[in-house]
Chains A and B, each alone.
Chain A
Amino acid sequence: MPNIDRRDFIKLVGAGSVGVGAGFMLRETIKHPTEQLIPHVIAPEDFSTGIATWYNTVCSMCAAGCGISVRTREGRAKKIEGNPSHPVSQGRLCALGQAGLQVLYNPDRLTGPLMQTGQRGSGSFAQVTWQEGLDKVADRLELLTAENQGNRIGLLSQGVRGHLAQLFELFADQLGSERLLHYDFDHPHTLYAANHRFFGEARLPYYDLKNTRYLLSFGADYLGNWISPVHHSLGFGHSRQGRSDVRGRFVQIEPRMSMSGAAADEWISAKPGTEGILALGLAHRIVSEGHYSGVDRDDWTTALSGYTTDQVAEQTGVGADTIRRIADTFVHTEPSLAIGGGSAANHSNGVDTLVAVNALNYLVANIGKPGGLVFNPEPAGPASQDRQASYRTMLELAEDAKQGNIEILILNGTNPVFSLPSAGFEEALAEIPLIVSLSSFMDETTALADIILPSHTYLESWGDDFPEPGVGFSIGSVSQPVVSPLYNTRATGDIVLQLAKQAGLSDAIPWSSMKDFIKDGWRLIYDRGGLDTQKESFESFWRSILKAGVWGEKTHRDPAFTLDKRVINSIAVPPPEFSGSSDAYPFILHPYVSTTLHDGHAANLPWMQELPDPMTSVVYGSWVEINPATAGQMNLKEGDLVDIESPHGQIRAPVYVYPAIMPGVIAMPIGQGHVTYGRYANRGVNPIEILSPRVDQRTGALASSATRVKIKATGRRIELVKTGGNSRELGREIVQTTGGKASQGHSAKLNSIPITVVPT
């Protein structure tokens, strides 16, 4: 035993203590961490730990109004699918609808009421209570109403339908304000106006893609984002593969190949803005060849005399043979259908173009027939009012604000600062003393608000919808909250009801919650429903709607329709007008609503940001599509940064060399270029900024495809983030296509199309 002196002893004691401590901590760290089991205080009826509960509700990610089923577990939404019982979505859903979860769980959501503390636009907000926020707004509303100055109150909402729209109507009416507007960048104003002109009603008919055999689409990217893409995709699928006897064929006419263009049998690029002229060229061929035998045949002959095949071929750049062939196929294939939208509708002659497209439908007599165009019955819910503001109306609103005619502006989910070009909207907002936003997110417009009263997302609120267009018969759906509110927010309807109450309007708007308001509204539908409906009590009717997620009534419209002679006589499509001279600005800018981000409101959803664009496979950011020939002349390659300059501004984006775009046209997706729309949206550029303020003559809708631009290489380049490798097949035999000639011949039958590998 060695001698242990005092020092060694202390050392050993120290070593021992360290050892014991380390041993103790070692086990502590490898121990199973303590977890808690938190029970409910009161267990909800529709909730079982570990078992999913599905709720049927309505998607609000675009204006289509698809029915959705949301899978929830432990009170949290986990997955969104299409509601199989809903006639619009039929169990299917698009990527944007699926990404709705990221609206709910978005980390950039506004979590409670805010008040601007610094200068507008400084971004300094302080949290306030709901009472403080509401009081401040309601007091001003009450004051203005009492002084009969209600018209100095502006209400600017995103497009809403059903009872929320009706609530806004009631609210504006009681305030004494006529300034109630809806504003969506991609609202099809020209289509409504063209239908009003042609059919006498500013509504959307049901386009029966499902049963058609030959579809002519003038610029409508109906598989991407035109009106009701999920329903159209279903129809397209059925048209192509759902029938044993026929494979529906379709032709897409547009200057830049969209997702629908890629799915078409034939893609035709007419000169931008001449799609309507082409439609009339086809009409002329149909009438002059004697394929139309209606009583008004002579009127048509006269009206279309200026659209002979050769003239139209000259004006549109589409070959005379092609015009003849398509016209003949269109008239000989029954049923056939023509639709129009997208860039074709967004020119200075947009309404005339779409009237011409309607004329084609009229001439082949497909109106009211399966596979044609079917009128929808009146929506069963509250009568919809046309509140959609065109570009011109928004300019008037801005002008009004600049004149000092607007004292309060209440914004609901719309973002005109981002999506209104050259309107000076930001300057106009500066003249409004009080701006209130009900947005769930900070965005470019909400950032300028004085008070933000944040709304629930659609997955947390009550609502209802009567889809427009319907599906040929009357349907409606109630949307119900699928989760409890995540934050200190309130449903838009409840905020409006509360404001109404505090502003002393509760005599006319007595409801205490949006749910009550909707339920009362649905009672009317129940009362109208007749004996069949009223066999059950209202409560049971209501529960069955909540359960099914949809209500429908087989009320079909009388397909009879007489065309006013004056419409025929006035039919004409003037040549499109563009901003900027073709010398100084050699290219026509074709801005298209992004398939993934839509008009930009989906840019804050990471799933949509990382979803490759279906045509270019580019992920994130912005790009400008240029024809390879043009790019070759200008010595531009993929990734080269170029400045795109219009008479109204300049933006910078990398080049994407895109074979499926006309030379002389360059295309850019809309949706990126946000500044204050949260962490995920902060990338790319916004082509809306450089659009000219040119409008469609008849509606005042923005002619967003009517801007000329020039491009200038900057000498810098970046790597485009994309999933696609080489766009060529390179003999790998991985993309087998039908041979060029055979597929163009109109006599080609399904079974006789020779499958060949196209050498590239």
Chain B
Amino acid sequence: MNVSIVPALKALIPAALVVAVVLLGLVVGFWANAAFYPGTSPEQPIAFSHKIHAGENEIPCMYCHTQARRSISAGVPSVSKCMGCHNEVATQRPQIRKLKNYWENKEPIPWIKVHDLPDFVHFTHKRHIAAGIECQTCHGPVETMDQIRLTDAAPMEMGLCLNCHKQKEVANGLDCWTCHK
């Protein structure tokens, strides 16, 4: 007598189908999130355009991010700094009115962080600026962006750090403790 497992397997087909559909859905869902909600370019409270400021008007990065060359963090300009120009410049545009609103209410602008490193990474702007690294190396071509975003070329991931450290033969640049301390 032939013993076949086919009938038993056949009985499992409906269940297998359900599992397959769930897995497929998982992939689709994951992809959909990545494609439509990447979170790498959140909408900001004011649609500030780096393209206009750094690109078209060629304002140097460190005109606003003044701390970059002397501190671990680059610093976000204070509202008063924005108003320094926008008291006069483009005062009637809707986004500038928003800015003025914040200023008049003496409230800070709650920007959303785009370029961020986890707390276990010790990064300092000062050293990188001193080494002559362009801002764009890590931050991407921000002068072309209307809305700031992470780019594939500069994804703020460890590979970017290591590649550069390797290329430039940074002393102890590949040592774990150089960044993770």
Q: Which residues of A contact B (CB under 8 A)?
A: 2, 8, 11-12, 15-28, 31-32, 34-43, 48-51
CB contact list, B84-116 vs A, under 8 A: 102-103, 106-113, 116
Given contacts A41-B79, A43-B80, contact A49 B111 (CB under 8 A): no
Residue among A15, A18, A37 having the largest count of chain B Cβ atoms under 10 Å: A37
Binds A, one of B13-21, B53-61, B165-173: B13-21
**Pairs across A and B, CB under 8 Å, 29 listed:** A8-B14, A11-B18, A12-B17, A12-B21, A15-B18, A15-B25, A19-B26, A19-B28, A20-B25, A23-B25, A23-B26, A23-B31, A24-B30, A24-B33, A26-B26, A34-B42, A34-B112, A34-B113, A35-B116, A37-B76, A37-B110, A37-B112, A38-B111, A40-B78, A41-B79, A41-B106, A42-B79, A43-B81, A50-B125
How far apart are the CA atoms of A28 and B33 in the complex, in Å? 7
CB contact list, B1-60 vs A, under 8 A: 13-14, 17-19, 21-34, 37, 39, 42
Residue numbers in B under 8 Å from A8 (CB-CB): 14, 17
**Complex partner residue of A51 from B67, B78, B110, B116, CB under 8 angstroms:** B67
How far apart are the CA atoms of A42 and B109 in the complex, in Å? 12
Q: Judging by beta carbons under 8 Å apart, are A15 and B110 in contact?
A: no
- Residue on A with the closest CB to B103? A41
Given contacts A34-B113, A40-B79, A43-B78, contact A49 B33 (CB under 8 A): no
Q: Judging by beta carbons under 8 Å apart, are A21 and B29 in contact?
A: yes
- Residue on A with the closest CB to B42? A34
Residue numbers in A under 8 Å from B78 (CB-CB): 39-43
In the assembled complex, the CB of B64 is this many whole angstroms from the nearest CB of chain A, namely: 10
Residue numbers in B under 8 Å from A38 (CB-CB): 76, 108-111
Q: Judging by beta carbons under 8 Å apart, are A24 and B32 in contact?
A: yes
Q: Which residues of B contact A (CB under 8 A)?
A: 13-14, 17-19, 21-34, 37, 39, 42, 67, 70-73, 75-81, 102-103, 106-113, 116, 124-125
Residue numbers in A under 8 Å from B125 (CB-CB): 50
Residue among A21, A22, A31, A50 having the largest count of chain B Cβ atoms under 10 Å: A50
Residue numbers in B under 8 Å from A42 (CB-CB): 78-80
In the assembled complex, the CB of B17 is this many whole angstroms from the nearest CB of chain A, namely: 7
Residue numbers in A under 8 Å from B77 (CB-CB): 39
In the assembled complex, the CB of B69 is this many whole angstroms from the nearest CB of chain A, namely: 11
Q: Judging by beta carbons under 8 Å apart, are A16 and B116 in contact?
A: no
Residue numbers in B under 8 Å from A18 (CB-CB): 22, 25
How far apart are the CA atoms of A700 and B124 in the complex, in Å? 62
Residue numbers in A under 8 Å from B23 (CB-CB): 19
Q: Judging by beta carbons under 8 Å apart, are B113 and A20 in contact?
A: no
Listed from nearest, the 9 A-B pairs whose CB atoms lie closest are A19-B25, A23-B29, A50-B71, A20-B29, A23-B26, A24-B29, A23-B30, A50-B73, A19-B22
**Complex partner residue of B75 from A11, A12, A50, CB under 8 angstroms:** A50
**Complex partner residue of A31 from B39, B72, B113, CB under 8 angstroms:** B39
**Complex partner residue of B113 from A19, A22, A37, A51, CB under 8 angstroms:** A37
Residue numbers in B under 8 Å from A41 (CB-CB): 78-80, 102-103, 106-108
How far apart are the CA atoms of A16 and B17 in the complex, in Å? 10
Q: Judging by beta carbons under 8 Å apart, are B25 and A17 in contact?
A: yes
How far apart are the CA atoms of A40 and B29 in the complex, in Å? 39
Q: Judging by beta carbons under 8 Å apart, are B110 and A19 in contact?
A: no
Residue numbers in B under 8 Å from A15 (CB-CB): 18-19, 21-22, 25
Residue numbers in A under 8 Å from B21 (CB-CB): 12, 15-16, 19
Q: Judging by beta carbons under 8 Å apart, are B29 and A2 in contact?
A: no
How far apart are the CA atoms of A32 and B150 in the complex, in Å? 12
How far apart are the CA atoms of A2 and B17 in the complex, in Å? 10
Q: Judging by beta carbons under 8 Å apart, are B29 and A36 in contact?
A: no
Given contacts A2-B14, A48-B70, A49-B73, contact A27 B112 (CB under 8 A): no
Q: Judging by beta carbons under 8 Å apart, are A50 and B18 in contact?
A: no
Residue among B18, B19, B102 having the largest count of chain A Cβ atoms under 10 Å: B18
- Residue on A with the closest CB to B29? A23
In the assembled complex, the CB of A327 is this many whole angstroms from the nearest CB of chain B, namely: 59
How far apart are the CA atoms of A17 and B25 in the complex, in Å? 7
In the assembled complex, the CB of A40 is this many whole angstroms from the nearest CB of chain B, namely: 4
Q: Judging by beta carbons under 8 Å apart, are B108 and A39 in contact?
A: yes
- Residue on A with the closest CB to B22? A19
Q: Judging by beta carbons under 8 Å apart, are A2 and B25 in contact?
A: no
How far apart are the CA atoms of A42 and B82 in the complex, in Å? 10
Q: Judging by beta carbons under 8 Å apart, are A27 and B76 in contact?
A: no
Residue numbers in B under 8 Å from A27 (CB-CB): 29-30, 33-34
Q: Judging by beta carbons under 8 Å apart, are A23 and B71 in contact?
A: no
**Complex partner residue of B111 from A11, A22, A31, A39, CB under 8 angstroms:** A39
Given contacts A18-B22, A23-B30, A41-B80, contact A49 B75 (CB under 8 A): yes
Q: Judging by beta carbons under 8 Å apart, are A36 and B111 in contact?
A: yes
Residue among A17, A20, A49 having the largest count of chain B Cβ atoms under 10 Å: A20
Q: Judging by beta carbons under 8 Å apart, are B29 and A35 in contact?
A: no
- Residue on B with the closest CB to A27? B33
In the assembled complex, the CB of B152 is this many whole angstroms from the nearest CB of chain A, namely: 16
How far apart are the CA atoms of A34 and B37 in the complex, in Å? 13
How far apart are the CA atoms of A28 and B107 in the complex, in Å? 30
Residue numbers in A under 8 Å from B13 (CB-CB): 2
Given contacts A19-B29, A22-B29, A24-B33, contact A50 B110 (CB under 8 A): no
Q: Judging by beta carbons under 8 Å apart, are A16 and B42 in contact?
A: no
Residue numbers in B under 8 Å from A2 (CB-CB): 13-14, 17
Residue numbers in A under 8 Å from B19 (CB-CB): 15
How far apart are the CA atoms of A40 and B27 in the complex, in Å? 43
- Residue on B with the closest CB to A42? B80
- Residue on A with the closest CB to B76? A39
How far apart are the CA atoms of A8 and B37 in the complex, in Å? 32
In the assembled complex, the CB of A283 is this many whole angstroms from the nearest CB of chain B, namely: 61
Residue numbers in A under 8 Å from B107 (CB-CB): 41
In the assembled complex, the CB of B84 is this many whole angstroms from the nearest CB of chain A, namely: 11
Residue numbers in B under 8 Å from A35 (CB-CB): 112-113, 116
In the assembled complex, the CB of A586 is this many whole angstroms from the nearest CB of chain B, namely: 59
- Residue on A with the closest CB to B150? A32
Residue numbers in A under 8 Å from B106 (CB-CB): 41
- Residue on A with the closest CB to B24? A19
In the assembled complex, the CB of B13 is this many whole angstroms from the nearest CB of chain A, namely: 6
How far apart are the CA atoms of A24 and B124 in the complex, in Å? 34
Residue numbers in B under 8 Å from A28 (CB-CB): 33, 37
How far apart are the CA atoms of A18 and B23 in the complex, in Å? 9
In the assembled complex, the CB of A31 is this many whole angstroms from the nearest CB of chain B, namely: 5
**Complex partner residue of A20 from B14, B32, B81, CB under 8 angstroms:** B32
Q: Judging by beta carbons under 8 Å apart, are A26 and B29 in contact?
A: yes
Residue numbers in A under 8 Å from B32 (CB-CB): 20, 23-24
Given contacts A18-B22, A23-B29, A49-B73, contact A40 B108 (CB under 8 A): yes
Residue among B30, B72, B116 having the largest count of chain A Cβ atoms under 10 Å: B30
Residue numbers in A under 8 Å from B25 (CB-CB): 15-23
How far apart are the CA atoms of A34 and B42 in the complex, in Å? 9
**Complex partner residue of B30 from A26, A43, A51, CB under 8 angstroms:** A26
How far apart are the CA atoms of A26 and B30 in the complex, in Å? 7
Residue numbers in A under 8 Å from B80 (CB-CB): 40-43
Residue numbers in B under 8 Å from A34 (CB-CB): 39, 42, 112-113
In the assembled complex, the CB of B38 is this many whole angstroms from the nearest CB of chain A, namely: 9
In the assembled complex, the CB of B81 is this many whole angstroms from the nearest CB of chain A, namely: 7
How far apart are the CA atoms of A19 and B18 in the complex, in Å? 10
Residue numbers in B under 8 Å from A32 (CB-CB): 39, 116
Q: Judging by beta carbons under 8 Å apart, are B67 and A16 in contact?
A: no
Q: Judging by beta carbons under 8 Å apart, are B109 and A39 in contact?
A: yes
In the assembled complex, the CB of A170 is this many whole angstroms from the nearest CB of chain B, namely: 36
Q: Judging by beta carbons under 8 Å apart, are A50 and B111 in contact?
A: no
How far apart are the CA atoms of A24 and B37 in the complex, in Å? 10
Given contacts A15-B22, A23-B27, A50-B67, contact A36 B113 (CB under 8 A): yes
In the assembled complex, the CB of B20 is this many whole angstroms from the nearest CB of chain A, namely: 9
Residue numbers in A under 8 Å from B29 (CB-CB): 19-27
How far apart are the CA atoms of A42 and B106 in the complex, in Å? 9
How far apart are the CA atoms of A49 and B108 in the complex, in Å? 15
How far apart are the CA atoms of A24 and B31 in the complex, in Å? 8
Residue among A12, A23, A25, A49 having the largest count of chain B Cβ atoms under 10 Å: A23
How far apart are the CA atoms of A682 and B32 in the complex, in Å? 55
